Amino acid sequence: MEIILQSDSLSANYIAARIIARQVRQKPESVLGFATGLTPLPLYQFLIKMHRNEGLDFSRVTAFNLDEYVGLDPAHPASYHSYMQDNLFAKINIDKHRTHIPDGLARDIPASCLAYEEKILAAGGIDIQVLGIGSDGHIGFNEPSSSLASRTRIKTLTVQTRKDNAGFFGGEDKVPHHVITMGLGTIMDCRMCLLLAFGKKKARAIAQAVEGPVTAMVPASILQMHPRAIVLVDEDAASELQRAFYYRWVYDNKPDWQKY
């Protein structure tokens, strides 16, 4: 696990954007995994600027999203279909037929989840997966106690997660109770994971995920077992890390060929 500390969230998002841009330039047919929420918005804005100003080409890229609400129409403004269209897909030259988001309206949810896994495999697997982290340490919607080997499936949201997402729906009572999410096993199959976390609210979760034991009660801690997990945090999110000085030292003293 590589920990990259930056003074602010914009700097961290810009590094994440450079990592993704390098991947796409080196492998134009890359498979990218995207996340939603407020955390990755600056990352997507940087990618849009790179597309417009530097010619970053997404025409051969395939995309898979982490999750979607069950029972929510894709046209709903709080759906992740709408989020991705509004904040990234409509502003770059990605082929809409190469974009994949779990089907929250599927009649047979288990079959739909299995099909999603099969699509990922058929695409060759995910090269880079963007992740956020919840205040309780969840990634995707893999809430605490989720199996560390889980695959794409339906999950019931915790009270806290529904509160955290209430702003997108205009009230907690309007937040769906269920989601479809990639599992932790699915995430661990990705060749690289980019975990973004900013602000004091994420400090404890980051400390537990990075420096605590690997446990299903902190789902993000499984990334300690990933061969290529990069955690990008600002000073506030890093404030409870015991080895913050060391992480800064490592990043500042990388050999040139390892720098982003």
- Residues acting as catalytic residues: 67, 136, 138, 143
How far is the first Cα of the chain from the last one, in angstroms, to the nearest whole number? 16
Rg (CA), the chain: 17
CA distance 211 to 186: 23
Question: In the 3-class helix/strand/coil scheme, how is 16-65 assigned residue by residue?
Answer: HHHHHHHHHHHCCCCEEEECCCCCCHHHHHHHHHHHHHHCCCCCCCEEEE
CA distance 21 to 84: 18
Neighbours of 83 (CB within 10 A): 22
Contact 43, 196 (CB under 8 A): yes
Q: What is the distance, to the nearest Å, from the Cα of residue 40 to the centroid of all Cα atoms in its chain?
A: 8
Backbone phi, then psi, for 198, in 5-degree steps? Answer: -140, 145
Contact 80, 139 (CB under 8 A): no
